A and B are shown apart, each in its own frame.
Chain A
Amino acid sequence: MTHNLSTPTSEEAVRKLKVSDQVLISGVVFTGRDAVHKYLHEGGTLPDGVNLDGGILYHCGPVVLKDDSGEWQVTAAGPTTSIREEPYQGDIIKQFGIRVVIGKGGMADKTLAACQEHGAVYLHAIGGAAQVLAECITQVRNVHMLEEFGSPEAIWEFEVRDFPAVVTMDSHGGSLHKVIQAQSGDALAKRR
């Protein structure tokens, strides 16, 4: 089943999503990865202009170049591995009111519990598909903390249209990652 999701995202919209649903996202997306998570978790404040309430956080370190007219152009923008943010993500979802996290590889129990409690989902984008996903970015609205964190780790504010992803952790405790991990573990035990 394919759903369209736009920002700001309501709890109601997020609660409708179930594991294995496909989603097309349109609206504003903020990137944030290792440096941002550690910074926020240690009590750092969001820079002016960044509002994650009902928002979408994308685990991504894009390639962004300035063109001749001084405009930012995204030339590659796939997801980065999310599990590194597992110690921080659940708290950050609740503290800042995030409804959607996009990344790859899935996350674990603490994040899954936060999704269930707060009403949030984890969407899996296709890892490595930097060109297909960059084509869905229609505009670079802004960049924050570029100086502090460097380009891949900065908070980029993107406008996206029909950005494709799959629900792999929903707000009802469902996790595709847990299911596949268990099934493949059983399959491996038979072949050891």
Chain B
Amino acid sequence: MSRLTESLIELIRRTSAEIPGDVQSAILRGLEQEKEGTIAKSALEIIERNIELAKRKSQPICQDTGSILFYVDCPVDLNQVEFEQEARGAVKEATRLGYLRQNSVDSITGKNDGTNLGPGSPNLHFHQHASGDIAVRLVLKGGGCENVGTQFSLPNTPLKANRDLDGCRKVILETVHQAQGKGCGPGVLGVCIGGDRASGYEFSKREFLRKLDDLNPDPKLDELEQDILKTANELGIGPMGFGGKTTLLGVKIAAANRVPASYFVSVSYMCWAFRRNGATLAGNGEITDWLY
């Protein structure tokens, strides 16, 4: 097995079994806020215990190990065909080892061959940069939270949402209300304002690469992020939709240019089991540093 394959297996293992520190801190803050004796508190206590147990046993935090999304920043001379082959090998082996569930189904025949390999799985996004480093980030996104994502085309008459930031706010909060506990809240929203139907969702998911405690460099988007986080946590949906104060752990919003005719707001929902990690690799494939 090559050094690169070994490194990617380790990245998959860590991502599946270990929650990022920024997410765990947000969950702990939620736990402190919920009232003693409530089912919301009890839910967050089980979640906290689960996080510790998964790390200790090196087993998946959640059995739905999700869509496998790699984001690779690479130098111009990286052989992307070879890299993708190595990544596929790593996914197959990580599945055999139980870091990933046998989670990929042929949509036409319904067959699950148990390898997690097939059209669109794993999903690799390459981005060339001027640096000589390879940075690989991985997000494992479960199906329950993926199913509650939304894409609105503004204006939206029933919600009285116009083509402005207030209209965006309305449809984003509507998504939180529609999701209730079905996306395994407390969740995190990744949002893209603008783009087309494909790039909108694509950009919304990239927001999950940001740390929860960072600030949006655009002051208007920063204000919208804080407003939605605060307002959503006043709705009383709570962990798992049980009621309570912790409905969202974070909101991250990007903007993309649009054509004049379109105004999409794409919202991706990430469950509390926010599995994201990343590493920089040396030219031989060895991990040199962890990114989260």
Chain A positions within 8 Å of B, measured between CB atoms, are: 20, 22, 35, 60-63, 65, 75-78, 80-81, 83-84, 104-106, 124, 126-132, 134-135, 149-153, 164, 166, 168, 176-177, 179-181, 183-185, 187-188, 191-192
Contacts and interface: CB of A to CB of B under 8 A. Distances in A.
Contacts of A134: 59, 63
Interface stretch (B78-86, B233-241, B284-292): B233-241
10 contacts: A63-B60, A76-B101, A104-B144, A126-B240, A128-B62, A128-B184, A132-B49, A135-B53, A152-B63, A187-B236
A20 to B, nearest CB: 6
Contact of A77 (B46, B47, B63, B271): B63
Nearest to B144: A81
Given A106-B241, A192-B173, A22 B42 contact: yes
Interface residues of B, number: 53
Given A61-B64, A150-B102, A180-B243, A105 B180 contact: yes
A62 B114 contact: no
Contacts of B182: 81, 83, 104-106
B187 to A, nearest CB: 11
B220 interface: no
B160 to A, nearest CB: 8
Contact of A63 (B101, B237, B238): B101
Interface of A is mostly: mixed
Contact of A150 (B111, B144, B271): B111
B110 interface: yes
A62 B34 CA distance: 30
B181 interface: yes
B265 to A, nearest CB: 15
Given A128-B273, A132-B53, A63 B181 contact: no
A113 B49 CA distance: 35
A110 to B, nearest CB: 17
A124 to B, nearest CB: 7
A62 B183 CA distance: 18
Contacts of A187: 234-236
A184 B237 contact: yes
